[in-house]
Structure 1
């Protein structure tokens, strides 16, 4: 069974605090979109060493906004997608043959709304394309008052000749330092660990430790293969 990781639940339940965390992180590292691409490149290079399939990307951005008088959730969706009304009706737009953009705006009490933006690639594209997309989306979201940072998730199947333990070894060899059981999980088919990785620009603080990365290995139900997932600062997709 796939597992919806704890990080996703925490992010949705505390959208306001998530926005504050990301704003502080951007203030301290000062890299903005450049930092996102640097983190994505580091994760992709690491996963490429052990993966035997295309890498799928899910990048998420979450924040709370205050709707102006007369403004509807669909108006916000259209503004973010920057497209015609037909796409705002579905909350989705194709950025390329491999990548789509999905936007969800859920109206809350008091005129507030929770905004969730997902950029999904079934196969990883050139980094230049992501740099352009992230910059454009950041500008649109900043206009709404959303300054939260991107949560990046990469996923791929492990090479058949490798064992799960080799994935953990590669992580530590790349400069990832395992935290002391924070958000660690293990059952018969899946395991996940959290790490500090000083070179990454996204983090959360838990139990007095900075967490930059969460990694997971899932033993597939068909065959003897493994699915690998990396997320910064936490995984926000099913693994």
Structure 2
């Protein structure tokens, strides 16, 4: 299928992940109507954000352990973490984004018109080489979509990323944004046989760390093999084809470097693998 086929699959997975986040959200059981988190009490918001931050911290620790197991010894662990979700409120978009950007310690907010929608962006680089960016796009009807992305070339050299990402989730929630996180880790693979054989060997390493892991969906072409799994005990899931998926694994043969690259995603991979 080649790179075009691979790109289509990645876009479908990313679209699925975003759609699920929009539909299920990070909502309180008491939320009703069209104002989203505007109607959630301050106590409920703080409780939800604290729980979400704790879940994220545990997931990043797990992902670090899994990454070390399946990557080449000493390889850098590239990580991309995204908080994304919908905002619906009466406050002006530029004021809301400026306040959120300031809370995240980002730079000046820039704006542009893209396909008739107001788009706002800001970014900064934290210590340890962690890059943070904010993307905001008005959807119409008083609704907007926001993505805050954290990226580091090596998670092991960026110990401050976990707390900064947790703080970002709380800041988004308190700003009235219905946000969910997804995270992808990528590194040179320990297994350097063909992609399918390397995936099976990598899968065995995962099974030793994740009792009860069960493959639900598969994809393969000449250079790439991928599986998505249900994993008992992992709280973040997305629904796909009647399955609850909480982890995705992909092994891709990089033709330029002539070696395998492994990617792990919780609950799905949302970067190019």
TM-score range, shorter chain: 0.7 to 0.9
Question: Once the 2 structures are TM-superposed, how far is the Cα of residue 218 of structure 1 from its aligned partner?
Answer: 0.5
Look up the SS of the partner of 1:201 in the other structure: coil
The structure where strand makes up a greater share of residues is 2
Q: Which residue of structure 1 lines up, in the alignment, with residue 34 of structure 2?
A: none
Match of 2:95 in 1: 75
Q: Are positions 1:35 and 2:55 aligned together? A: yes
Structure 2 partner of 1:153: 184
**Normalised TM-score (structure 2):** 0.74
Shift of residue 223 of structure 1?
A: 4.4
1:144 and 2:175 aligned? yes
* Larger Rg, first or second structure (1 or 2): 2
Q: Deviations over 1:15-45 (max 9, x none)?
A: 521415x768xx99x8421221111111211
Q: For the Cα contact (< 8 Å) 2:60–2:162, is it kept in 1?
A: no
Name which of 93, 114, 129 aligns with 2:145. 114
Give the Å deviation of 1:97. 4.0
* Gap change, CA 1:147 and 1:112, over 3 Å in 2: closer
Question: Following TM superposition, by how much is the alpha carbon of 1:134 offset from its aligned partner in structure 2, in angstroms?
Answer: 2.5
Alpha-carbon distance, 1:112 to partner: 0.9
Alignment partners' CA distance in 2, 1:66 and 1:201: 26
How much has 1:160 moved relative to structure 2?
Answer: 6.4
**CA offset at residue 65 of structure 1?**
0.7
Classify the secondary structure of the residue corresponding to 2:96. helix
Paired residue secondary structure (2:82): strand
2:134 is aligned to: 103
Unaligned runs of 5+ in 1: none
Task: Report 1 or 2 for greater relative contact order, CA contacts < 8 Å, sequence distance ≥ 6.
Answer: 1
**1:168 pairs with 2:203:** yes
1:125 CA drift (Å): 4.2
Judge conservation of contact 1:107–1:114 (CA < 8 Å) in 2. yes
Within 2, Cα distance between the matches of 1:98 and 1:186? 34
Give the number of equivalent residue pairs.
Answer: 232
Which of 52, 55, 62 is equivalent to 2:84?
62
- Shift of residue 126 of structure 1? 6.2
Matching of residue 129 in structure 1 with residue 160 in structure 2: yes
Specify every segment of 5 or more residues in structure 2 that has no aligned partner in the other structure, as ranges: 30-46, 111-120
SS at match of 1:76: helix
C-alpha RMSD of matched pairs (Å): 2.9
Task: Report the CA distance between 1:115 and its aligned residue.
Answer: 0.7
CA distance in 2, matches of 1:5, 1:115: 18
Q: Distance in 1 between matches of 2:208 and 2:164?
A: 31
Q: Residues 81 and 93 of structure 1 are in contact (CA less than 8 Å); yes or no, is this contact kept in structure 2?
A: no
Q: Secondary structure at the match of 1:180?
A: strand
